[in-house]
Amino acid sequence: MPVTGIAERHPFGVANGGLQVIIICEELGLPYVGKFIDITELKQPVFQSTNPNGRVPAIYDPNTDLTLWESGAIVTYLIEQYDTDHKLTITSFPEKHHLVQWQHYQSTGQGPYFGQAAWFLLYHSEPLESAKRRYAIETVRIISVIDKALDGREWLVGNKCTYADLAYVAWNASVGLFMQGQPEWKPEEFPNFLRWQQSMMDRPSVQKALSFTKEEEVKG
């Protein structure tokens, strides 16, 4: 039976947290169906009965009767429950802890800072130059940390693409949009980051997830 995922409707398709979950489902060959939740519905009682925080994504897994929210928690669950062949994870020490480290860096670093940069650079109703500069600088700092970590290696941990790498790909894919024209953004300074991102973008799971624009398409 399929996992039922809930993703926010977004001008460019599925919001980034939902994309993380879809990519993992695709990589592991898990059947799933998606439901778009309009942003106006997120704080309504119907959705908050699923996620009291009023955010996406959230999933219901009929195999285990589990409802779960927060993208990082969902990915961890899917990996622990369904990645029995360790396709996207590493179980040896210390690599398994480094995977968690990089997953947390995404959820506490890349996600929040990229999100705030996108908001203030593209959507905020008044031009707050100090906020634009702060989050543009932080975006570049986050990328520079990753670029240095990837020096001399193809992936963040071990010698294969893991769930830790794939946690970053959706937000990475939009950085060129919200950072376009910003003086801090000089992508040529981060060749390792660009190579890594392209390697993930070439994966069929990522291409499929990023192609979704309609609810009826979100299934696997």
Cα–Cα distances (Å) from 134 to 83, 171, 174, 213, in that order, read 39, 18, 18, 31
Its CATH architecture, for the domain 3-88+205-217, is: 3-Layer(aba) Sandwich (3.40)
Q: Domain extents for the chain?
A: 3-88+205-217, 95-203
The torsion of the CA quartet 127, 107, 165, 94, rounded to 10 degrees, works out to 140
Residue 215 confidence (pLDDT): 61
**Tens place of pLDDT for every residue, the chain, 220 residues?**
345 544 443 333 457 888 999 999 999 999 988 877 777 777 877 777 777 767 778 888 989 999 999 999 999 999 999 999 999 999 999 999 999 999 999 999 999 999 999 999 998 988 899 999 999 999 999 999 999 999 999 999 999 999 999 999 999 999 999 999 999 999 999 999 999 999 999 999 999 999 876 566 666 6
| Beta-strand relationship, 66-69 and 58-61 | antiparallel
Domains 3-88+205-217 and 95-203 share a fold: no
Report d(CA 63, CA 79) in Å as an integer: 15
pLDDT at 205: 97
Taking alpha carbons only, the member of 90, 87, 56 closest to residue 73 is: 56
The CATH architecture that domain 95-203 belongs to is Up-down Bundle (1.20)
Two tokens, residue 87 = 């396709």
Residue closest to 175 by CA, chosen among 106, 115, 105, 104: 115
**Structure tokens given for 219:** 């299934």
